[in-house]
Structure 1
Amino acid sequence: MKPHILVVDDDPALRELLEEYLGDNELRVTAVANGDAMKKALDESVVDLVVIDLRLNGEDGMQLARGLREKSAIPVIIITGRQEEADRVMGLEMAADDYVTKPFSNRELLARIRAVLRRYQLNPTELSHATSETKRRAYRFAGWELNVLLRRLTTPNGERVELSNGEFNLLLAFCEAPRRVLSRDRLLELSRLHGAEVYDRSIDVSILRLRRKIEENAAEPRYIKTERGAGYLFDTDVDILS
């Protein structure tokens, strides 16, 4: 079955172009102009990836992408203006798996779509692991709860903590391998950050940001500990809630 791509852009000419080009390259494409149409498309059929323009007419594409991320794990590619570096960084921090800048070539967008789909695609050796993983609704450690389906972290007091897409994936990787030393390269692989340049610069920066959100004292971490020369250790028991 062809992967189903949902394109959200208020430019009718671009929607028509992408429908034709991506459709000619073994993808099923639905192209819509706004958030309401996006939600309707998501309700009516299974979507494998969403491409969304951040500069929609009368709507905040970033908010739509963030709302989508909070409710599902569907991968997202954002479209931004060439000069809008802040949008690209914020998009990757908060919601997106990748981005393209206008003007872009159809071939570039197709390549990025395929790359993101590959990162989410299951191979036979991973199938049994993934099947059991989908049954894990949440992880709990020291009173904290990481809800996998809602992509939401709550404190022991029940307060919600906002996580970027990268921070969520990183914490999920730790919860799946508690009390095991994970190298920087392994963390990048497990958290699927290797495709996003904002994180490739340094896994340590992402670790520091996450520590500031879950540690009482980020300078003396209780949970995410540094193993010098080896990587990081999530030093706490983790319970799986199914």
Structure 2
Amino acid sequence: MLEVSDLHAGYGNVEAVRGVSLSATPGKITLVLGANGAGKTTTLKAIAGLHAPTDGRVTLDGKDITGLPAHKIVKRGVALVPEGRRVFAPLTVAENLRLGGHTASRSAFEKTLAQCYEMFPILSERRSSAAGLLSGGEQQMLAFGRALMSQPTTVLLDEPSMGLAPVVTDSILATVRQMADSGIGVLMVEQNAEAGLDVADEVVAVARGEVVWSGPAAEARNNASVLLAFLGEAALAGAGD
């Protein structure tokens, strides 16, 4: 289980994350909602070791991983799928996956690769194709697969549906649900709140770098704090109509 307690992080004199506390439980999806600039991506980067927190604590299965380098955090079991997918465009699908599993033993690598191709048949079909030639949805699948190759217990997803058509978004988020159902803990930042709420178990609403509400996804849809965090003041006026 990934637990984040009173996390602070910023850029220079600007504090983007102000005491965020949340968790990602094996087998469940925790959805992080908030407007642009709320500190969501900074939170994920601080957890993943890509941005040094200034205060707070991150633990994985009770072991402190706060501020460790990114490669050590990956080895501990936390994988990040960044915003915009960030696949290595000139490399083939197979080469991208190989990079994701570079820390695994040969036997573990082969087993995980087979599981990845089973989950994403299109990647098996396109294994010799350059990643840059894949569609947006296929690249997102490749980004998922690359993360899963490290055999994580927790996956951090930053805007997995960004730039994708609605029908593709539905497929991608169904895959996220499949990941969680396999026992992985998922912490997901997602701008498409409606689609995200359809698959999430828990919700954390963030505004101005602070958690303003957290609870079951079933209770999030009609909560004023969630609407305010995600849509701003106009949402509250609409909710009362």
Q: Which structure has more RCO (C-alpha within 8 Å, separation ≥ 6)?
A: 2
TM-score, with length taken from structure 2: 0.31
Q: Which has the larger radius of gyration?
A: 1
TM-score, normalised relative to structure 1: 0.31
